[in-house]
A and B are shown apart, each in its own frame.
Chain A
Amino acid sequence: MVALERVRFASDPAGAPPPTRTSQAHAGGSSIGLQPILVVDDDAEILAMLRDFLESEGLTVRTASNGQEALDVLADTIPSLILLDMRMPVLDGWDFAERYRALALAYPIVVMTAAESARRWAEEIGANGYIAKPFDVDELLQTIERHRQKDSKPN
């Protein structure tokens, strides 16, 4: 996984996940807030695509390829939304949700899965919403917009 991350970051134009401020500058005065969207998915292609797309839509993005990595990201990041795949290696969506609740964190979560049980799983882990793969990108944007935390202001 580490190697994969490195490859992915290396191929990223920015070379590394851009810090919030850089991202804000990059967003070019978009009305969308500064807190990053945390995308958790074990499929590298989906992660790369979502990072590319959401950043082009003026959002900042952090990625994690499993629940454990997502927890690591959360240690120093306050996301406006977590887009969470459920079936992942190392730490899956359910275990992630459990640890996450144990940490008393309460960022909005949108479950993003190819499984038919997307809605049920979202309810199981107390997520705010769900989106089934494959999705239309405008549908994704709408879902993100609907659930994203907008009241926190960047300093």
Chain B
Amino acid sequence: MTAQQLLQGITNVLFVLVFVLVVRHASRQRSRASFDIALFFGALAIAVLQGPVFQLLGLPPNATATTVVSILVMALPFLMLQLLTDFTTVPLRARTLTLGGIIASVILLITLPPPLDPMAVLFLIAYFALVALYTAISFVRLASRSAGVTKRRTQAVALGMGMLGLAVLVAAVSTLAPGSSGLVSAVTQTLALGAAIAWLLGFATPPQLRRYWQEPELRAFLERASTLPRLPTTDAILRELERGVGASFGARAAIGLYDETRHVLVFDNAHGALPNEVKDGTGFLAWRVFASQQAGFFPDAPRAHPEHADAYRAAGVGPVLVAPITAGARRIGVLEAFAAHRPIFSTDDLALVQLLADQAAVVLESRALIDEAALVQAQEEAARLKEDFVSAAAHDLKTPLTTLLGQAQILELRFSRDPALAQHQPAVSRIAREARRLSALVEDLLDASRVEEGRLDVRREPIDLAEVVRHVAERGRAGQDRIVVDLGEPLPGAFDRRRIEQLADNLIENALKYSHEDSPVEISAWRDGDAVHLTVRDHGIGIPPRDLTNVFDRFRRASNVDARRYSGIGLGLYICRGIAEEHGGRIWAESTVGQGSTFHVRLPVTGEGKLN
């Protein structure tokens, strides 16, 4: 076996291999393109296998067989062009000429007896080479419009077509100059082998090579993607993602985000191919994929969604690739790529579009997290500003209040000393009392804002808690002999005297306020292990069970409190809780509606509590 025979053998084996692979592919994914590809390689395989098979079977060269093979070979240019029409628009003139060419070739091959007239051979060669080169150039142009793996594969196909065309042209030289047959044959064989390899790479790309070709596009996309979440707006991110996906496919891309409240997919930039809102039940490919959560390839969008065909055609949309954008269980939207013509390799592109959609999901999720973080920050900022405002406003209220309260009390004092003015005393006392109330209210607002910010500023000093509570209770008893105090032994500990007074005062005041004038308010405190326990009990209106915990929230009052009857803004218990917690203790309430409430405060004695 000569080197040339070996070359030919390898070439033939490769052609057959490509045929087997494309048939396998066509059987998995039925489409016109894969059928046309299989047909082309089928013809080629029969043409190259006929000789060796006859040889193997020991059959003599057969004229009919030779004619059939020749016709099959001459059908190749037509099949090539047919294949081309699956990927791009082929002018009618080219298709007509090719059809005319094959008819003429078949007539020539059947009518003229072999050996063929050199002029006929020249015609056949010229026809074959012309169509092969035309197809090659068309594929080159197609490649320049696409990107990524598709581009590489299209280039490989174009190379194969070109080499086949050249091989035929070179073969023609031997016909014109018979002396050079050895060299010509070697060159032809080499070109044929080249075509076989190129087609193998183009039509049946090994997965490793596919990944290798995919890598630069993917890397570029990912590099871009990593910076996307920091873009100022989600819209800007969407446009960049669409641009990146489009570049990866050599197509146009659009992202539709799912609006949960309206149950629609919102497209801002669908290139006129889709409405801005794609609704459920409208048959849109985007919605079908979104609903099924399975990426889909639609070789012909107008045919797949006939109701919308005119709009697809107007927008120049042929094949469509759609992939769901999903982060875990969260369905974010869909990614849709529109191509004017069918990209060659739909399975690869399907995997790629899903990969890009997944990446888009990551980008959009990151963005959502950034937005969420910013929102939380803004809320915190707003809360802080509100606290600052309350605090500043309360301070500014204090200065005029100082004069108001002071002056009222001075007048009260003077009126009390002068019998001539005594009749006015109640009036001025009323002013003084209200000024004091206003002042207490401002102090409560400030305290509430301190509790909110966790800076109640507890200053511990050794005190007798029993004595402090007794003092407060006695002060409260001035006009109310219904306060019953049960305080036994001293309860020494490190507490903030002023805050404990405030706490006891608030609880006693509440108990008096929300109970009948005749009913007792019972105060007791005792040592319980490492803590002191204080209770204030009334027999008043009580607190509904559902409010037992939230009465301690800011501006919250029990739902059975008639605001017109009982004044208050709902800060007292909030401040009490703050005081208890700043002391490392806690406060809670037990109550039966209509029978009364008991407030418990438990403060650790040994624990340091929260010391600021």
Contacts and interface: CB of A to CB of B under 8 A. Distances in A.
Contact of A46 (B403, B435, B450, B459): B403
B410 A135 contact: no
Given A116-B450, A134-B439, A53 B402 contact: no
Interface in A14-62: 43, 45-46, 49-50, 52-53, 56
Interface in A80-124: 114-116, 119
Interface in A115-155: 115-116, 119, 133-138, 140
A75 to B, nearest CB: 28
Given A53-B410, A136-B409, A137-B410, A114 B403 contact: no
A52 B410 contact: yes
A107 B400 CA distance: 28
B239 interface: no
B303 interface: no
Contacts of A136: 405, 409, 436
Nearest to A139: B409
B492 interface: no
A68 B54 CA distance: 122
A5 B152 CA distance: 91
A135 B404 CA distance: 10
A46 B459 CA distance: 29
A135 B399 contact: no
A137 B402 contact: no
B401 to A, nearest CB: 4
Nearest to B440: A134
Most chain A CB neighbours (cut-off 10 Å) among B395, B399, B400, B407 = B399
Contacts of A56: 410, 414
B446 interface: yes
Given A116-B446, A134-B439, A137-B413, A43 B406 contact: no
A30 B279 CA distance: 91
A52 B409 CA distance: 13
B586 interface: no
B243 interface: no
B399 A49 contact: no
A50 B409 CA distance: 12
Given A114-B395, A114-B398, A137 B450 contact: no
Contacts of A43: 399, 402-403
Interface in B491-531: none
Interface string B39-80: 000000000000000000000000000000000000000000
A114 B450 contact: no
B403 A45 contact: yes
A137 B409 contact: yes
B406 A49 contact: yes
B406 A53 contact: yes
A134 B398 contact: yes
A140 B410 CA distance: 11
A138 B405 CA distance: 12
Interface of A: 43, 45-46, 49-50, 52-53, 56, 114-116, 119, 133-138, 140
16 contacts: A43-B402, A46-B406, A49-B407, A49-B410, A50-B406, A53-B410, A56-B410, A56-B414, A115-B395, A119-B459, A133-B401, A134-B406, A135-B402, A136-B405, A136-B409, A137-B410
Given A46-B402, A137-B410, 10 more contacts: A46-B406, A49-B410, A53-B410, A114-B399, A116-B446, A133-B398, A134-B401, A135-B405, A136-B409, A138-B409
Interface of B: 395, 398-407, 409-410, 413-414, 435-436, 439, 446, 450, 457, 459
